[in-house]
Amino acid sequence: MEVNKEMQIGINVSPNAVADPELSLYAETLEEGQKTSNIDVQMMWLNIIRCRQIIQQLSASENDTFYSGILLQLETSLASHVDVLQKKISQLNSDIQAGHVKYPTSLPSCGGDAASAGRPETQKPSCDDSQKQQRRIAIEDTIITKGGLTFQDIAGLHEAKQALREAIIMPLHFPHLFTGAIKPWRRILLYGPPGTGKSRLAQAISSEINSSFYCVSSSDLVSSWVGESEKLIKELFQHATTHEGRSVIFIDEIDSISRQRNSREEEHTRRIKTELLKQMEGADNSDKADKIFLLCATNCPWELDSAFLRRFQKRIYIPLPDKQARIELMKIHTKGNKLDFTKEEWRVLGVNTEGYSGSDIANMMLEALFRPIRDLHTSKFWKQQPDGSFVPVDEGSEGAMEASITDLPPDKVITRNVALSDFMMSVETHRKTVTAKELNKFEDFTKLMGENNEEDVTQSTFQELEPEVEGADDAGLKDNEEDVTQSLFPGVRTSSLRG
């Protein structure tokens, strides 16, 4: 709201004193107008009306023409803001059912009782559905059509993929198998460090199923106006329920709107949580419960309110990729480039990226692939290829010619092949972003609230039966990895690259 400057002028507009309670109206309205979300439009509307009344009283007793002119300008400005807020209130009331408490939509006279102006009235709202139509358009914009990303394009995460197949894909493809007491999970939470593929898993589901997929960020559900967020959440679930066929709702960063409640929490934030909980519960208890699957993702599961955690039937941990998954990720990122790496060379890269997330690997690979392009500007010797193109070479190479990149035809310049050394240098400059402390928090949460996969349970059972030789296997594996690194990069130790 652009009332700040005028309000500040009004505070010092006259030598006549104004009571402290009246001055507090200015501060309260200024603070509310600086918010970016959940603005209490009714409170601002009432305060500005009261400010106009104060200004009218000051004008009646003001003899100085200079101050009178400023007061007149301020009252005119406030009148325009009252008009803007009144229109917004009308929009917010457009789809409230008859008999519900609604914001006042008529402006009282400035000389009337300001307190009575704020009393809610009970009457049938107008038929203006423009605001509701805008919300419906916003919801429809979140629907993702079937894309090209599938589970095969996502490295690792086998347990998560299997759980999602059982929960979402199989019930859609084989509905006759899920009858009686056999029911699919309809509310699933994906949690794990940033960049591990939670959102990509959700995108892959839209390609694996033939149904509507709503991809929503929590920021999409938070409106700037009090009351709008609850309506957006309600209409999102209503739209998914009435949409033809089954629907999957994916809400990313769910922790932003479902954090643990506290005494300092504002009332409108509580209402948002209550509405989301209501829709989650209602979607499961309605006669169309089998039409909606709710999938949520978070990087901070320990911040979720316990009421939300209880409503997720499955809580799936999306961990950092293991060595084999990291190698698969690197191959996926470089499938469009010519890399003649041996199995051992790939293994070295997998070993030295321990602790990297999927996004860490993507950034590291991009840097490595860009290094040959960066070298073009410093290359002094080139060799012409049979097709007429020029590639940078070392000074002593056969057929090398001395030139700078500006001396060559731009369309004939090509890069050298990407080498393993490019990736090792990139590993040195791009460190992992997930700390051990963060991983410990995820492990603690998983032990308390998550789920162990069957493989983990089986391994822990057999470990109790088998005799252990402490450190034997790990020591042999680490020695082998160190030998491979030394053979490819003499003088470089594996431990120095792990960071």
DSSP letters of 47-97?
A: HHHHHHHHHHHHHHH---HHHHHHHHHHHHHHHHHHHHHHHHHHHHTTTPP
Four-way CATH pick for 323-429: 3.40.640.10, 3.40.50.1950, 3.40.50.2000, 1.10.8.60: 1.10.8.60
- CA–CA distance, 198 with 296 (Å, rounded to integer): 9
Position 92 scores a pLDDT of 59
Q: 156, 325 in Cβ contact below 8 A?
A: yes
- CA–CA distance, 406 with 377 (Å, rounded to integer): 9
Give Cα 407 to chain centroid, integer Å: 47
Q: 420, 341 in Cβ contact below 8 A?
A: yes
Dump pLDDT digits (tens) for 116-142.
444 444 444 443 456 667 777 777 777
- What is the chain's Cα-based Rg? 32
Q: 400, 390 in Cβ contact below 8 A?
A: no
Residue 209 exposed, middle or buried by CB count within 10 Å (0-12, 13-18, 19+): buried
Residue 238 exposed, middle or buried by CB count within 10 Å (0-12, 13-18, 19+): middle
Contacts of 122 (CB under 8 A, 6+ apart): 99, 100, 101, 102
Place of tokens 């070392």: 394
Position 89 scores a pLDDT of 67
- CA–CA distance, 166 with 177 (Å, rounded to integer): 11
Contacts of 414 (CB under 8 A, 6+ apart): 385, 389, 390, 391
Position 91 scores a pLDDT of 60
Identify residue 470 by its one-letter amino acid code. E
Contacts of 111 (CB under 8 A, 6+ apart): 53, 56
Per the structure block, which two tokens stand in for 335?
């499938």
3-class secondary structure per residue, 406-432: HHCCHHHECCCCCCHHHHHHHHHHCCC
Give Cα 469 to chain centroid, integer Å: 45
Q: What does the domain layout of the chain look like in residue ranges?
A: 39-91, 145-317, 323-429
Q: 225, 92 in Cβ contact below 8 A?
A: yes
Residue in 334, 364, 344 with CA at minimum distance from that of residue 428 = 364
The CATH T-level fold of domain 145-317 is: Rossmann fold (3.40.50)
- CA–CA distance, 28 with 135 (Å, rounded to integer): 29
- CA–CA distance, 299 with 318 (Å, rounded to integer): 10
- CA–CA distance, 45 with 227 (Å, rounded to integer): 15
Element (H, E) at 367: helix 358-375
Per the structure block, which two tokens stand in for 433?
């972003």
Q: 346, 374 in Cβ contact below 8 A?
A: no
Residue in 301, 207, 200 with CA at minimum distance from that of residue 255 = 301
Position 69 scores a pLDDT of 76
Per the structure block, which two tokens stand in for 428?
């040195």
- CA–CA distance, 63 with 71 (Å, rounded to integer): 12
What's the pTM?
0.63
Residue 492 exposed, middle or buried by CB count within 10 Å (0-12, 13-18, 19+): middle
Position 126 scores a pLDDT of 44
3-state DSSP call for residue 335? Answer: coil
Q: 231, 282 in Cβ contact below 8 A?
A: no
- Backbone φ and ψ for 235, nearest 5 degrees, come out as -75, -25
Residues of the chain with pLDDT under 50: 1-19, 95-128, 453-477, 484, 495-499
Helix locations, 141-244, DSSP H: 158-164, 170-173, 198-208, 228-242
- CA–CA distance, 12 with 67 (Å, rounded to integer): 10
Helix locations, 96-157, DSSP H: 114-117, 130-140
